Amino acid sequence: MVGIIPILSGFTSGYLSWITSDTFNNQVWKRVTRTALATGATVLCSIKWECFGAITSLVTVSTWSYLAIYNTSSGRVIFCPSDSQEPVRKRLALSIENIVVRTPGLFQPRYIPTFWAADKWTNIALFITKQMFDKSFLRGNKIRRDILVMTDGGTVSIDFADDEHLPSSAPFVIFLHTITGSSHETGHYLRYATRRGWRSCVFNRRGHGGVKLSSPNFNVMGEARDTAAQVDFVKKKYPELSFLAMVGISAGSGLLITYLGKEGNRTPVQAACSLCPAYDVTKAFSMLAIHYSAVDRYILGSMKRLFIKSNEEILGTLSLSSLLDCSNASTIHEFFCAHYPFSGCETLEQYFRENNPMEWVDRVVRPVLIVNSEDDMVCLPENIREDIIRSLGGALLLRTRRGSHIAFNEGIFGTGCYLSRTSMDFLDSARLLHLEEQRSQS
């Protein structure tokens, strides 16, 4: 009878081999063969040499798995060259080239995921586990909240990091959260920014962060006018800040592009990062329901709980039919198409004209880093618009083979986050470049 040690070690070896196999070429038979070989060899060694055989086999398989990940960990950077550009785009394209040259993580990008959580499902499972810990009493995040009431009576909030020990002139980064998130899910970005010497905050949109709707208005993608008001508040609160940046995460990345495009040169934001964007939201979420229906249902349930169930009474005062349509939506795309009256738009076409990032991307006049992974199950790789990046000076796209959706765990214990590290590397380089340009002009 096979003992517990051969069974456990064989299962572990098979698991590591399976999740670290290259799945991008759709050669399933190679993945199955590799997993079977690793499992069989480990079981045989464990039976013959017991603990010594099990440990030796696991170390061998772990090393093999890590090397397999490392050999496929190189990323690609795509950007528009600075030649053959009109003056504004040429200046932005030159900024991107200078940022890439001075940032090793972008000049030679490499994302090495935590080897025991390397595929898209284990990567995001580890990320969700870390978020649950982040929101628990064990973490004890310290934030300072300011509430802002908009002209229509709607309410947004800003959660500031516990960074009062930093000088008032420190650079400042604003984070725009996910589709149903808030500062509670963005704590690790705040803490990392603080460690890098940046002040930071999270812009909570209407209905988010534990603040119910105070008017019958909300926008799944977020309202750029609200963001502009929040930016003005930050500028007044920290008038001496030396550099202002913005990072949009998942759905927040769409709001970031829409805000930057609508504001143009008026925005005080000087550099930005768009993390795991969906690009064209008129079709991105319909594709999600086709390819990953379970993921679509999970996110849709979160959206209904956040926007509808908590605010039925006030939303009903504006449109009972739209409230019913949102409640009965069976996909994210259906919810999207049903909620437009609550965003202040008269038609769905108007909603997409106002809130689809692709309508505003060519008006963005700040250097922007965009990060997408090939195994993202929410913002699918087929949505990525390299054609826009290659023709638009000022945008830099980093594509990685792995990372899942906004997970990007790294380190042997999975405590690191490639997205936060790479974003801050980009923003630090953009800030230093900005300072050099200021000195040269003075």
For the chain, helix (H) and strand (E) counts, in that order, are 16, 11
Kindly state the average pLDDT of the residues 278-291. 90
Residue 431 has pLDDT above 50, yes or no: yes
User: Residue 167 in 3-state DSSP?
Assistant: coil
Burial (0-12, 13-18, 19+ Cβ within 10 Å), 439: exposed
Return the DSSP state at 143: E
Query: What is the pLDDT averaged over residues 177-196?
Result: 94
What 3-state class would DSSP assign to 141? coil
What confidence score (pLDDT) does residue 1 get? 40
Per the prediction, the chain carries an average pLDDT of: 91
Instruction: Read off the pLDDT band of 3 (50, 70, 90).
Output: confident
Q: Report the range of poorest mean pLDDT among 58-62, 113-117, 119-123, 197-201.
A: 58-62
Sheet holding 155-161, edge to edge: 76-79, 395-400, 368-373, 271-275, 244-249, 172-176, 199-204, 155-161, 143-149
Q: How far is CA 284 from CA 123, 172, 382, 385, 420, in A?
A: 22, 31, 9, 12, 24
pLDDT of residue 26: 55
**What is the H or E stretch that residue 250 is in?**
none
Residue 241 φ/ψ, nearest 5 degrees = -60, 140
Average pLDDT over residues 301-328: 96
Instruction: Report the pLDDT value the prediction gives residue 31, as an integer from 0 to 100.
Output: 75
pLDDT over 80 at 306, yes or no: yes
Helix (H) or strand (E) holding 113: none
Mean pLDDT check: name the lowest of 135-144, 146-155, 328-337. 135-144
pLDDT per position as a tens digit, 367-413: 999 999 999 999 999 999 999 999 999 999 999 999 999 999 999 99
Angle at which helices 418-441 and 187-195 pack, to 10 degrees? 50
Which residues lie closer than 8 Å to 324 by C-beta, 6 or more apart? none
User: Is 346 a residue whose pLDDT tops 70?
Assistant: yes
- pLDDT at position 25: 56
Q: 2 pLDDT exceeds 60? A: no
Share of the chain above pLDDT 90, in %: 74
Side chain identity at residue 245, one-letter code:
A
Per-residue pLDDT tens over the stretch 141-168: 789 999 999 999 999 999 999 999 999 8
CA-closest candidate to residue 209, choices 135, 139, 317, 138: 135
**Region 259-272 average pLDDT:** 98
51-97 tens-digit pLDDT: 877 788 878 888 878 888 888 899 999 999 988 678 899 999 999 99
Question: Which of 136-140, 254-258, 292-296 reaches the highest mean pLDDT?
Answer: 254-258
Report pLDDT for 46.
77
How far is the C-alpha of 259 from the C-alpha of 262, rounded, in Å? 5
**Radius of gyration for the alpha carbons in the chain, expressed in angstroms and rounded:** 23
